[in-house]
């Protein structure tokens, strides 16, 4: 009952305000932020990531974590699809620190994997079979589609 009362009190931030605060946080991303994100992701290579198991959006907890370490709160992972609409994907033009979502097609349907660009064509992501942070080269990954949450472009 105390929790319900607390939630009804005026001290609780309405969901619409929380969502707006996250969008403002996303809008503050700049080159310095992307540099901090890249550094955080690079530092984690080879480490186990506890938040990777059973995720509806594989890799997004890792992406969310490295952005939080850089001082940015991200909204939902679906935003990458909204922001990438109409943009041609080019692995060579991704800025270090940007979020990359890779879509893989298989017999059981399509799946997504969220990653952080390390610069060039390299990305850091959670290997879903081991739970460890690894890096890969986009030019050799068998994805069918890719999307970039490109903070460096309007």
pLDDT band of 87, cuts 50, 70, 90: low
Sheet strands side by side (includes 133-137): 133-137, 122-126, 109-119, 99-106, 145-149
Cα(116)–Cα(37) distance, rounded to whole angstroms? 8
Helical (H) or strand (E) element with 37: helix 31-43
If you average pLDDT over residues 80-106, what whole number do you get?
78
Q: Rounded to the nearest 5°, which phi and psi values hold at 94?
A: -80, 135
pLDDT band of 154, cuts 50, 70, 90: very low
Greater pLDDT, 1 or 98: 98
The pLDDT tens digits of the residues spanning 24-54 come to 666 677 888 889 999 999 999 999 998 655 5
pLDDT band of 94, cuts 50, 70, 90: confident
3-state class percentages of the chain: helix first, strand second, coil last, to nearest 5: 40, 25, 40
């Amino acid at each position: 009952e105390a929790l319900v009362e607390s939630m009804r009190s005026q001290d609780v931030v309405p969901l619409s305000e929380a969502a707006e605060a996250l969008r403002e946080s996303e809008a503050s991303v700049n080159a310095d932020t992307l540099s901090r994100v890249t550094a955080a992701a690079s530092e984690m290579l080879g480490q186990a990531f506890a938040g990777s198991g059973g995720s509806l959006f594989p890799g997004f907890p890792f992406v969310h974590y490295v952005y939080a370490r850089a001082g940015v709160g991200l909204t939902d992972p679906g935003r990458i699809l909204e922001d990438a609409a109409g943009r041609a994907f080019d692995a060579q033009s991704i800025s270090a620190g940007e979020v990359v979502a890779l879509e893989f097609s298989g017999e059981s349907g399509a799946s997504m994997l969220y990653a952080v660009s390390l610069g060039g064509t390299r990305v850091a992501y959670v290997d879903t079979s081991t739970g460890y942070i690894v890096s890969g080269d986009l030019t050799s990954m068998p994805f069918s589609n890719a999307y970039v949450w490109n903070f460096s472009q309007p």
